[in-house]
Amino acid sequence: MRNRSWCFALLLYFAFCSRIEAFKFHRTQQTERISGSAGDVLEDNPVGRLKVFVYELPSKYNKKILQKDPRCLTHMFAAEIFMHRFLMSSPVRTLNPEEADWFYTPVYTTCDLTPNGLPLPFKSPRMMRSAIQLISSNWPYWNRTEGADHFFIVPHDFAACFHYLEEKAIERGILPMLQRATLVQTFGQQNHVCLKDGSIIIPPYAPPQKMQAHLIPPSTPRSIFVYFRGLFYDVGNDPEGGYYARGARASVWENFKDNPLFDISTEHPTTYYEDMQRAVFCLCPLGWAPWSPRLVEAVIFGCIPVIIADDIVLPFADAIPWEDIGVFVAEKDVPKLDTILTSIPIDEILRKQRLLANPSMKQAMLFPQPAQERDAFHQILNGLARKLPHDESVYLKPGEKILNWTAGPVGDLKPW
């Protein structure tokens, strides 16, 4: 039986090798513009369509935290820092809160890192509550709407649920103080307590300059069929297995570790970025959360993302046609990955590559310094602009209260 499986894998491999020349030939093809409303949305310019007031908070909520640990500038949650910097000099910023459409509170809730560089979310709820108490005491604008015209960047694994384990995040739920605000977050999964209606889903931060430094000539053939580097098991946090990535990553390893079409490993080589540019498909499976920086890296490097995360809500889904540029594989279908990917016609693969080569597509996934037109900063502003004008129901009647300031775990109510 094992010999039969090997023969089948080799046949697939040789079939793929016979198609490599086609990929070599088409690597330098023209890009393809995204058609329809998605393309129009991607190219929108938010300047002139909204005004944002940035609260000036004491530096203990942002700058001092960053000074204490500059690693926060390079981790995948850094969007909260760079969005703050962008807004401070953005033409959409207003110094007059009376003319503002939106209010932004710059709180760096993920900049509390372990020695390994992982964010600890345990102080985040108290920090966020403290910031909201401050703005509600010193300015009248929060109290007019209880935050319904405010937005917050919450790039934790499970956003404003503030925990890195899903079952704990679900148990906590979204911080009660943020129930009316618009949340700008990396986490997105349908019908999940940590994603509320109206949230804006953004890509995780990936260092633009670092990726730019690893670009290889576009004529380089894509000689790797399927590529993945990362964990398949998390023994430290999931010793019994099956919980991490809902078993999807383990299934990839168990089914394809010996398949010649699959270049997969836990090793993270120095040529990681270059290897992605040599691959046709890049696996983007869920981990502890459904999202990861691999999605950004795949788009930037023109590697067709194979998204394995049931019910995921993807970044800027109204602007980026994910169905056209990626391949979606249900978690239960991971054992059939080889058959699914080798069954995709070459013409379809080449069209996905042309769309991925569109500069606007790549730009929308990045937080460059300085900001550039159509980048992720501008896509966030576009998302906020499309929510305007605010409905009258946003504004509370005199004396009306909706939020319960004492709700949530007791530990969250302690001073920060």
pLDDT in tens, 222-255: 999 999 999 999 988 887 777 899 999 999 999 9
Rounded to an integer, the average pLDDT of 91-101 is 98
Cα separation of 379 and 393, whole Å? 26
The per-residue pLDDT for 23 is 46
d(CA 141, CA 97) in angstroms, rounded, equals: 8
Q: Which helix (H) or strand (E) holds 17?
A: helix 2-17
The whole-angstrom separation of Cα 247 and Cα 169 is: 19
Residue with tokens 């943020």: 178
* Dist CA 108 CA 161 (whole Å): 15
**What would you measure as the largest C-alpha separation in the chain, in angstroms?**
76
* % of the chain surpassing 70 pLDDT: 90
Q: Is the pTM of this model over 0.85?
A: yes
Q: Which amino acid is at 269?
A: P
Two tokens at 401?
A: 């209260």
Please name which of 197, 338, 157 lies closest in space to residue 258, comparing C-alpha atoms.
Answer: 338
Q: What pLDDT, on the 0 to 100 scale, is given for residue 26?
A: 44
The per-residue pLDDT for range 164-211, each reduced to its tens digit, is: 889 999 999 999 999 999 999 999 999 999 999 999 999 999 999 999
Q: Is the pLDDT of residue 116 over 90?
A: no
